[in-house]
């Protein structure tokens, strides 16, 4: 059934060497787009140079999706924020710019009804600027989390990963287990996040100083400062094959890339100042050293990811600044 007179929406998918995943994501959107005429999908290729952009472009033509899906080629791989901004900036320059932008990871599959849930919620709640949804693992098991803004106490808990301390600081843990009703939260996962156009005008585009990670957290914080709330909608469901678009998965303890540490440091310095960022780093280090001590006292094998402590210290606010500058709409 087609629906009329709803807010207009553009889906933005950033591809970096995930062509086949993007095609599967587009296929999951086909029925959603048919139900809501006028919905557009833009795939931004972040200079993949592996032929994946050609795979996506060929699929759009071969499957008859060209009436609603297009491919844009970015000349550089500037990261998640830059890739999304590449499409959003062009859309905002159009007098017929959409009311909403749905940022989707390429390794997602949209369940039926998710688009309609977002459109109805934003239409009924004009002060909502951002919304996320229930994510499922690749095996269809729920991943029912939204997030609190990171803080010094959250870094202490994250570094320690110690049951009693986690329980004591449960109201400060970044990850928040969600229920079955819509709820206002600090931030949601950037794997599937809808943003109101008016919110972008108020906050500016996502900060391209973040290559990957923390950009959505930073954006949600800036939106809240401008009076735009963020919500978690469990009735909208999207499967997320986590790590396929970033290279980080839960299947093995691989070394954390430099850009994760840089993004974390940038978030704290930009939003709280360097002094706060240094204290947050010290809190994490204190918690982490406590965790290591407990593991040794209990004669448990150290399962920490490779070079974690060394990389954390080297990339901390003790020795580095925020780098780069925010991007305005």
In a domain, 151, yes or no: no
Tokens of 165: 């301390």
Angstrom distances, CA of residue 63 to CA of 32, 56, 57, 59, 69: 16, 11, 10, 6, 11
Provide the percentage of residues in the chain whose pLDDT is more than 70: 93
Residues 186 and 310 in one domain: no
> 297-324 pLDDT, tens per residue?
887 776 778 999 999 999 999 999 987 5
In a domain, 264, yes or no: yes
Q: Residue 324: helix, strand or coil by DSSP?
A: coil
In a domain, 159, yes or no: no
In a domain, 155, yes or no: no
Closest CA to 28 of 104, 127, 130, 89: 104
Neighbours of 201 (CB within 10 A): 11
Closest CA to 241 of 22, 11, 16: 22
- Kind plus residue range of the DSSP H or E element containing 13: strand 9-15
Write the DSSP assignment of 28-88 as a string of letters: HHHHHHHHSTT-EEEEEEES--SSHHHHHHHHHHHTT-TTTEEEEEESS---HHHHHHHHH
As a 3-state breakdown, the chain gives helix, strand, coil percent values, each rounded to 5, of 40, 20, 40
Tally of domains in the chain: 2
Residues 194 and 285 in one domain: no
Residues 50 and 139 in one domain: yes
> 17-37 pLDDT, tens per residue?
999 999 999 999 999 999 999
> 50-64 pLDDT, tens per residue?
999 999 999 999 999
């Amino acid at each position: 059934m087609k629906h009329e007179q709803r807010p207009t929406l553009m889906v933005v998918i950033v591809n970096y060497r995930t062509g086949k995943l993007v095609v599967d994501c587009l296929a999951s959107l086909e029925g959603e787009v048919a139900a809501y005429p006028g919905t557009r999908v833009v795939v931004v290729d972040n200079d993949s140079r592996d032929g994946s952009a050609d795979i996506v472009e060929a699929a759009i033509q071969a499957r008859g999706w060209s009436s609603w899906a297009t491919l844009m080629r970015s000349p550089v791989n500037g990261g998640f924020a830059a890739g999304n901004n590449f499409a959003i900036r062009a859309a905002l320059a159009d007098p017929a710019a959409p009311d909403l932008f749905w940022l989707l990871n390429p390794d997602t599959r949209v369940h039926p009804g998710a688009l309609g849930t977002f459109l109805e919620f934003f239409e009924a709640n004009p002060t909502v600027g951002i919304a996320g949804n229930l994510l499922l693992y690749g095996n269809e098991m729920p991943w029912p989390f939204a997030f609190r803004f990171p803080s010094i106490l959250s870094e202490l808990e994250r570094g320690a990963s110690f049951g009693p301390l986690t329980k004591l600081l449960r109201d400060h843990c970044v990850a928040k287990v969600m229920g079955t009703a819509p709820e206002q939260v600090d931030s949601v996962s950037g794997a599937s996040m809808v943003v109101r156009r008016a919110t972008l005008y108020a906050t500016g585009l996502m900060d391209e100083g973040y290559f990957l990670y923390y950009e959505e957290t930073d954006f949600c914080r800036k939106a809240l400062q401008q009076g735009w709330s963020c919500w978690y909608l469990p009735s909208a469901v999207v499967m997320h094959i986590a790590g396929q678009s970033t290279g980080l998965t839960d299947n093995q303890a691989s070394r954390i890339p430099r850009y994760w540490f840089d993004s974390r440091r940038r978030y704290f310095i930009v939003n709280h100042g360097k002094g706060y960022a240094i204290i947050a780093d010290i809190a994490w280090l204190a918690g982490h050293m406590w965790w290591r001590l407990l593991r040794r006292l209990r004669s448990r094998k150290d399962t920490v990811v490779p070079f974690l402590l060394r990389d954390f210290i080297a990339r901390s606010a003790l020795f580095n600044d925020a780098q780069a500058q925010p991007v305005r709409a």
